[in-house]
A and B are shown apart, each in its own frame.
Chain A
Amino acid sequence: MREEFYKTLSSPLWWGVLVVAALLPLVLSSYYLHILTLSLVYVALASSWNIVGGMAGQISLAHSLFIGIGAMLSSALLLKFGVNMWLGMLISAALSGLLGAVIAWIDFRFQLGHLSFVLITLAFAEMGAIVVEGWDFLGGASGLLLPRDTGNFWLFQFGGGPGAFWVMLTLAAACVLVNIAILNAPLGYYLRTIRDNEKAAQAIGVDILKYKIMAMVISAVLASVVGTAYVRYLTFADPYLLISPVITIEIVLFATVGGLGRAYGPALGALLLVPLGEILRGKLGSTLPGLHYFIYGIVVIAVILVTPRGLLSLFERVWWSWRRPAPHQ
């Protein structure tokens, strides 16, 4: 069952791509390095979301909550109590995991199927945004400013630029690896059974609540850790960016554009759309604010209408029809 995972771990192609990617800071200008770092943040976030949203088919809109806890709580603990950010990261991740489990449990009591999960997670995301914007401890509406990044690893500082890029590359690769591992483990099969037919899964004895909670906890912990690293990179903990449900919607759209439930789908979506959006924002952001979101929206609608399984499966179809012309021709 897990062969696929070990095959990836020992694949020269995988490590080759990683090493080439790790060398990119040596050749890229700081502007493009920034765009690439941001893309990797979203690769990691979309991949962590994919465990719940793609594999289990539970569209979670609560991930802004986990990202927000990872970012705002760890920053607040550092600034208000001087808690080391590594410890802050762990505390935030634990809280996110716990919250994820509670949300999954509450959802289980509802009787509206897949729909209820979207609703209850969105309600929780709104609650989170209201709490952060109204509570000064977490920065309130004005946010929190972290101390300057001096590159001291033990203080969770990576020196910005290349350092932050490497951290994000590690996190993104780790999130994709977790995806591959779960997809090839029993958990992945259970989750896909739940997605495709919950009643049938229950009938054959799959413990639905247990696996839903597991998926949610893993996903929430990963998102929270990425949130902490992201806020360290940004230096400014902006509640309107980090705890706004819009960040979740972005992630959902990236994953959908790339291909839901696939190991590389969300990564592909983020790697295509984030650079597009950032470059558009750099060029036209002052004259047309919101243009990049507008384009994301158009792209996702187009992709859903044209190829609902995402771009990854579209590319695969094109690739295979090119490699192997259809037999009846």
Chain B
Amino acid sequence: MSELYQALAQGLLIGSTYGLLALGMGLVYGVSGVVNFSHGDFISLGMFMCLALYSAFSLDPYVSVLITVPAMTAIGAVVYIFLIRPMVGHQFLMVVQLTLGLSLVLQNGILMIFGGQPARTPSVVESKLLILGDVVLQVPHVIAFGVSFVLAGGLYIMLRSTDFGRSIRAVHQNAHAAALMGINVGRVQVLTFALGIGILALAAALLLPGTPIQPTQGLRYTVITLLVVVLGGMTNFVGIMLGGLIIGIAEAFGTIYLAGVLGLLMPYIIFVAIMLFRPQGLTWKSRQ
């Protein structure tokens, strides 16, 4: 029984971060219809920025976010303005290929700078444990859980009740009508993309303590994020967080209960199974 609680707790904790990773992608997809296949490599970039800051100034990843979040937000804005915006109006699939190219550039740029050896970035809380009855939790995971939900809540409130949030939702529902209402659609798209990448910098710092990182990991994060976004019905906020929890729990159950390959496959199997029966994802309304 304690094993079950352990798996559940672990899955919830890691799943919340997956949800956070996916929120950025869902937000961008909703506003500009772009699916960013270099998403995971931006997570890598955020992690390696933390590593660089640690090596240079021995900054803790949780402190580094003060630098990496603004830096990544700026990078996101530049990428959108110079690479993705020129593609608007072309076939949707060209953007996919462009971001695949960007993924190679990022991944191998990191490889050339940092080398291919797995690296760790120490943090003060790295090896601390939190013990609740039978369940042992790693403190970095607990922090990640808390921050993810606070951030998701903050984003939700921002979308619901600030002018910027309303303009995002307006562009998502009907970009043309939003433009007629005086919303600068181009500006909203740039800011959303930048925000999406900025969130990744934060998520990267949350995932970092205790995790060895290497330049080639990006694609795996992209895949996990995509699974979560699709499960969540692409743009549904609650659905995406729920999707993150499901994938996280599937992963935790897979690694604890099933040996070897089958355990690692668990998130994918769950994903394919859910999508076969609910092709529209976990949203309640069916897609039109």
Contacts and interface: CB of A to CB of B under 8 A. Distances in A.
Contacts of A289: 111-112, 115-116
Interface string B205-218: 00000000001100
Interface string B221-265: 011001100100010000000000000000000000000110011
B37 to A, nearest CB: 8
Given A106-B272, A126-B268, A127-B265, A134 B107 contact: no
A112 B230 contact: yes
A218 B180 CA distance: 48
Interface stretch (B15-23, B129-137, B152-160, B274-282): B274-282
Contact of A111 (B93, B260, B261, B280): B280
Contacts of A109: 275-276, 279
A37 to B, nearest CB: 23
A164 to B, nearest CB: 27
A256 interface: yes
Given A112-B234, A249-B104, A253-B104, A300 B109 contact: no
Contact of A294 (B93, B108, B230, B275): B108
A109 B279 CA distance: 7
B81 interface: no
Assign chain A's interface to a size class: 35 or more
Interface of A is mostly: helix
Interface string A283-301: 0000011110110111111
B230 A134 contact: no
Contacts of B260: 134
A249 B275 CA distance: 25
B93 A301 contact: no
Nearest to A298: B105
Interface in A62-115: 106, 109-112, 114-115
A112 B281 CA distance: 10
A130 B272 CA distance: 16
B90 A301 contact: no
A297 B219 contact: no
Interface of A: 57, 59, 106, 109-112, 114-116, 118-120, 122-123, 126-127, 130-131, 134-135, 245-246, 249, 252-253, 256, 288-291, 293-294, 296-301, 304-305, 308
23 contacts: A106-B275, A106-B276, A114-B93, A115-B35, A118-B96, A119-B226, A123-B272, A127-B265, A130-B265, A131-B265, A246-B104, A246-B216, A253-B104, A288-B112, A291-B112, A294-B108, A296-B104, A297-B102, A297-B103, A301-B102, A301-B105, A305-B83, A308-B91
